[in-house]
Amino acid sequence: MTTSTLDIVTSDSLAPVRHGFFTRRGGASSGIFAGLNCGLGSSDQSQAVAINRARVAEAMGVAPDALVTVNQVHSPDVIVVTGPMEDRPRADAMVSNTPGLALAVLAADCQPVLFADAQAGVIGAAHAGWRGALGGVLEATLDTMEALGADRARIAAVIGPCISQRAYEVGPEFFEDFMIEDPEYARFFAGGSADRMMFDLPGFGLYRLRQAGVGSAEWTRHCTYSDPASFYSYRRATHAGEADYGRLISCIRL
Q: Is the pLDDT of residue 82 over 70?
A: yes
Task: Report the mean per-residue pLDDT for the chain.
Answer: 96
Arithmetic mean of pLDDT, 65-86? 96
121: left (phi over 0), alpha (psi -120 to 50) or beta: left
**What CA–CA distance (Å, rounded) separates 197 from 254?**
40
Percent of the chain with pLDDT over 90: 96
Closest by CA to 146, choosing from 67, 71, 80, 216, is: 80
Kindly tell me if the per-residue pLDDT of 243 is higher than 50.
Answer: yes
Long-range CB contacts (< 8 A, 24+ apart) of 236-239?
A: 237/32, 237/108
Q: How sure is the predictor about 2, in pLDDT bands with cuts at 50, 70 and 90?
A: very low
Residues 178-219 pLDDT 10s: 999 999 999 999 988 899 999 999 999 999 999 999 999 999
Domain ranges of the chain: 8-164+200-253
pTM: 0.97
CATH of the domain spanning 8-164+200-253, picked from 3.40.50.10700, 1.10.10.10, 3.60.140.10, 3.30.70.20? 3.60.140.10
Up-side HSE of residue 17: CA atoms within 13 Å toward CB?
32
pLDDT confidence of residue 192: 84
Tell me, what's the pLDDT at 5?
87
pLDDT score of 1: 38
CA distances from 222 to 15, 21, 109, 142, 247 (A): 19, 10, 10, 24, 15
Cis check: omega of the bond before 16, within 30 degrees of 0: yes
Give residue-wise pLDDT tens across range 101-140: 999 999 999 999 999 999 999 999 999 999 999 999 999 9
Can you tell me the mean pLDDT for 230-238?
Answer: 97
Judge whether 83 and 139 are in contact, CB under 8 Å. no
Q: Over range 146-161, report the average pLDDT.
A: 98
